[in-house]
Structure 1
Amino acid sequence: MDIYGFLLCSFLFLCIHFFLTKRKFNRKRLPPGPTGLPVLGSLLTIGNRPYESLSKLSKTYGPLMTVKFGMINVVIASSSDMAKEILQKNDQAFIGRPTPESVAAGKFYDMSMVWSSAHSLHWKKLRKICNSQLFTTQRLDSLQDLRILMMKKMIARLDEACEAKEQLHVGRLVFGTTLNFLSNTMFSGDLFDMKSDAMVELKELMGELMEFAVKPNVADFLPFLRPFDPQGIRRGITGLYDRVHRFLDAIIDQRIRHRASNDPSERFGDFLDVLLDQTEEHELSYTNIMILFMDLFVAGTHTTTATMEWVMAELLHNPPVLAKAKQELSKNIPPRAVVQEQNLPHLPFLDAVIKETLRLHPAAPLLLPHLTEQEVEIHGYTIPKHTQVFVNVWSILRDPDNWDDPTHFKPERFLNSEIDIRGRDCKFIPFGAGRRICPGSNLAIRMVNLMLANLVHNFEWKLPNGLKPEDVDMRGGFGIALQKYKPLVAIPLMVKAD
């Protein structure tokens, strides 16, 4: 049989499979949705910005709809009420995760707290450690001196840029600073320097890994393409995983040797020491620690970097808001002083600016996908077992039923507001909700507030090449992650002390 005959037979087989699958699912009363094309489903309709196109589809089909992503039935929740049904009221049914090809390429993906089932003992063990040991207020407070040290290094880097009148890619600056934040919190500051070979290697590895991780992969929705890896994502990311694993293994081995040859009083008290203390009590292996650090690095760098680039873009796009934030900082902090974490509770407008940025530009606009681990009924619709479910928080955070003038940047809406950012109110869930809410949200909020306060307080910012505030490109990028379509470039100017 020639190639054309083979392709024709393959297409006919897939069409028959499509219609048989459609008949099978139609026996259940699935939420409504577009019919879609054979094999491709609604992939062409969804396009490059799925959070936007799915929000538009929900205006036709309702806040709970079924959309075919290629050959996969996917249920989309687009309202706060439906998010509450999935993430809180029925979270036991939606507690699973599908495994994307980019994740399955890693050797130990089934050990990941992000991608393993929340019903598993392994997931419960890791979650307990995170909630009771790593991300407690006491633990985060104990490490704030390290974060202040990173702020001083960031300010020194920006002072050099001011002297050189350098144009900065804000995302790159924030990415490096975020990695420093995380590496100091996890491994302590003695291991890394902004310009050390280790830090440069880690920055390059995490940058390449993030490029692959957020790229939409057609093989996730057309399973017959998986063996062919048409976009090269599995091939490209497998080697990166191996390199990151070797890097983290070396860090853990170095710490084990340090602990063996030094008195316990000389321990660092960072995340790594905490986790090594848990290896016997919780039967935690060194591989478990390595994969947990992978999870924290990937999630932490993406969320923080994307949020910081968006918030700086919004401030440069809205000069009156930037001026108001600078005024609040000037009233509370001396000129050219490093903003400390204890100053943050006295900066309510700055906090409101960050919350409004998260509302308009959530780093994970569809959150991570959920997977039903049992058949469940919601509002008269039956969602079968093993169905993928996305919560479109981008749509929820711009819903006029929840927000006045929802498409405009208005930080004042969060002043004196009781809206909670930690998942209790499903109108505002940039970090998710329920038992699969991001465990590191408290650390992420601290990092973003501290970085933004120091960037705004210690420097003036202007746009390059004579650009005006209205020229700042505020479009979102392609894919499932909400990054800027056009990276933000700005020029820092030193603020002189009185």
Structure 2
Amino acid sequence: MEAAYSWVVIALTLLAALAFLSTFRRRALTFPAGPKPWPIIGNLNLIGPLPHQSLHKLSQKYGQIMQLKFGSFPVVVAASAEMAKQFLQTHDHIFASRPQTAAGKHTTYNYLNLTWAPYGPYWRQGRKLYLSELFSSKRLESYQYIRVEEYRAFISRLYALSGKPIVLKEHLSRVTLSIISRTVLGKKYFNFLDLQGYVKRMKALKKKFDRFHDHVFDEHKANRKGNLKDFVPKDMVDLLLQMADDPNLDVKLNYDSVRGFTQDLIAGGTDTSATTVEWAMSELMKRPDLIKKATEEIDRVVGRQRWVEEKDIPQLPYIDAIMKETMRKHPVAVLLAPHLALEDCTVAGFDIRKGTRVFINTWSIGRDPSVWDKPEEFRPERFLDKAFDVKGQHFELLPFGSGRRMCPGYSLGVKMIKSSLANMLHGFNWKLPAHMKPEHISMDEVFMDWQP
């Protein structure tokens, strides 16, 4: 009896010791520094209308990796190239998923698009389809005629307005949406897709967007009817519908999958290109000397007898530098879409718990004085002697993200931005209205939705 009692005492002692060690371990965890959260709201009281700027100011106090709480959710923010590399390359497999939200569930067809799909077989298959089919070099080349036709129409519209003040944003949005609409949907649907504000409002207008999808898909199905075996896809929706009929896919695509991917393709390609070119022109209008350098390069490479073609772009390093400098100073995705920690891990000596949401502040990275000399100045020349690309390998510049979750359509975006910018500078002499001075150009920011 005494022996049995002794074993009970020993067992209880061991359990107490294990509990103590477990508690000690939890207390020994080292989390990134950050502001103390309030009950219920966490640190949301510190986030203003421009979240990236609020987080930038906080990171200057707490460091290039910091932890906050948004409501009850733990959040880690990376504000340097090195920290971005830790999350997007070194530990990419751990942070390859996305957080799920109530809003996301209802606006992305239960996460059946590529941007917000959780990491797993469905996402991997979608990524493969995007890279091997929708955005392959051969596929993008086959759509080049669309880009040529729409840029010619764009230039013609601008020419008709020569000598008059114009709102450039409207024209950039129109040409970008025209290209994306024809590439993805096969034709322009301006009766459904109003030019200004469509992408921002489509999430709030889910029923209207569903009707739009039904209309588009019905037209495409009618074109394919009775000719499935020999049918040649003419646009990306044709491709997606064809893939949905493929019985050999590892993960079956359904009607909502096609809806989700289509929504991704339209939303992801429309605002990014137009906004980048608008920012570039805003900066250039303040610096006529930069416009002169760009036009001299174009004249030297292309001449004055024809428009800039996509084949000319690799020979225009200054246009490339203007694009990259714009992406550095005015990233469209000021905060990359949040990543989700799939398991507990250690990053740069700090403990990150499973379920933590991670944000990469590209706005902060582009203003890091340890990387960029005089970061508040617009200086395209800085990229003439820096071998930075936008393919996610240089973490100082991440306009399209990096790693597994990098935007798969980045190559199309780059083509559109450079072609728009080069032809606008090549075809026209740009001046501010007589009553306007360079310092009057508004450089105010508006927070936009996250990109991958």
What TM-score, normalized by structure 1, do the two folds share? 0.79
| CA–CA separation in structure 2 for the residues paired with 1:461 and 1:146 | 26
Q: 1:276 to 1:54 in 2, by over 3 A?
A: same
| CA–CA separation in structure 2 for the residues paired with 1:265 and 1:478 | 46
Aligned to 1:151: 151
| CA–CA separation in structure 2 for the residues paired with 1:309 and 1:86 | 31
Name which of 184, 187, 207 aligns with 1:186: 184
| CA–CA separation in structure 2 for the residues paired with 1:480 and 1:401 | 28
| 1:81 CA drift (Å) | 1.2
| CA–CA separation in structure 2 for the residues paired with 1:45 and 1:62 | 16
Aligned to 2:380: 411
Aligned to 1:488: none
| 1:372 CA drift (Å) | 1.1
Aligned to 1:344: 313
| CA–CA separation in structure 2 for the residues paired with 1:247 and 1:417 | 45
SS of equivalent residue, structure 2 residue 192: helix
| 1:62 CA drift (Å) | 1.1
| CA–CA separation in structure 2 for the residues paired with 1:393 and 1:183 | 28
SS of equivalent residue, structure 2 residue 34: coil
Name which of 359, 365, 369 aligns with 2:328: 359
- Deviation sequence 1:225-262 (CA, Å, 0-9, x none): xxxxxxxxxxxx1xx12212221222222122212256
| CA–CA separation in structure 1 for the residues paired with 2:110 and 2:432 | 42
Aligned to 1:376: 345
After TM superposition, the structure 1 = structure 2 runs for residues 94-109 of structure 1, keeping only pairs within 5 Å, are: 94-106=95-107, 108-109=109-110
Q: 1:107 to 1:348 in 2, by over 3 A?
A: closer
User: How big is the alpha-carbon RMSD for the aligned residues of Structure 1 and Structure 2?
Assistant: 2.4
1:253 aligns with 2:218: yes
Aligned to 2:197: 207
Alignment check: 8 A CA contact 1:94 1:371 kept: yes
| CA–CA separation in structure 1 for the residues paired with 2:115 and 2:321 | 29
Aligned to 1:469: 438
| 1:55 CA drift (Å) | 1.6
SS of equivalent residue, structure 2 residue 111: helix
Aligned to 2:168: 170
Q: Which runs of 5+ in 1 are unaligned?
A: 1-24, 193-197, 214-236, 483-498
After TM superposition, the structure 1 = structure 2 runs for residues 277-292 of structure 1, keeping only pairs within 5 Å, are: 277-279=242-244, 280=246, 281-282=248-249, 283-292=252-261
Q: 1:212 to 1:278 in 2, by over 3 A?
A: closer
| CA–CA separation in structure 1 for the residues paired with 2:255 and 2:77 | 38
SS of equivalent residue, structure 1 residue 402: coil
Alignment check: 8 A CA contact 2:272 2:332 kept: yes
| CA–CA separation in structure 2 for the residues paired with 1:107 and 1:347 | 39
What TM-score, normalized by structure 2, do the two folds share? 0.87
- The one-letter amino acid paired with 1:249 is D
| CA–CA separation in structure 2 for the residues paired with 1:26 and 1:39 | 23
Q: Which runs of 5+ in 2 are unaligned?
A: 1-25
Aligned to 1:445: 414
| 1:75 CA drift (Å) | 0.7
Alignment check: 8 A CA contact 1:360 1:397 kept: yes
Alignment check: 8 A CA contact 1:179 1:203 kept: no
| CA–CA separation in structure 2 for the residues paired with 1:171 and 1:54 | 28
Alignment check: 8 A CA contact 1:48 1:479 kept: no
- The one-letter amino acid paired with 2:340 is L
Aligned to 2:91: 90
- The one-letter amino acid paired with 1:139 is R
Name which of 349, 354, 360 aligns with 1:385: 354
Provide the aligned length of Structure 1 versus Structure 2. 423
Q: 1:123 to 1:263 in 2, by over 3 A?
A: closer
Q: 1:100 to 1:319 in 2, by over 3 A?
A: farther
Aligned to 1:425: 394
| CA–CA separation in structure 2 for the residues paired with 1:402 and 1:87 | 19
| CA–CA separation in structure 1 for the residues paired with 2:228 and 2:73 | 56
| CA–CA separation in structure 2 for the residues paired with 1:263 and 1:70 | 51
Aligned to 1:161: 161
- The one-letter amino acid paired with 1:78 is A
| 1:413 CA drift (Å) | 1.3
| 1:335 CA drift (Å) | 3.3
SS of equivalent residue, structure 1 residue 29: coil
- The one-letter amino acid paired with 1:210 is K
SS of equivalent residue, structure 1 residue 201: coil
SS of equivalent residue, structure 1 residue 39: coil
| 1:160 CA drift (Å) | 2.4
Alignment check: 8 A CA contact 1:336 1:458 kept: no
| 1:317 CA drift (Å) | 1.5
- The one-letter amino acid paired with 2:222 is R
| CA–CA separation in structure 2 for the residues paired with 1:409 and 1:245 | 42
User: Looking at CA atoms only, which structure, 1 or 2, has the larger radius of gyration?
Assistant: 2
SS of equivalent residue, structure 2 residue 74: strand
- Deviation sequence 1:234-292 (CA, Å, 0-9, x none): xxx1xx12212221222222122212256977745432333333221323333322210
- The one-letter amino acid paired with 2:175 is T
Aligned to 2:141: 141
Q: 1:211 to 1:464 in 2, by over 3 A?
A: farther
Alignment check: 8 A CA contact 1:113 1:292 kept: yes
Name which of 398, 403, 406 aligns with 1:434: 403
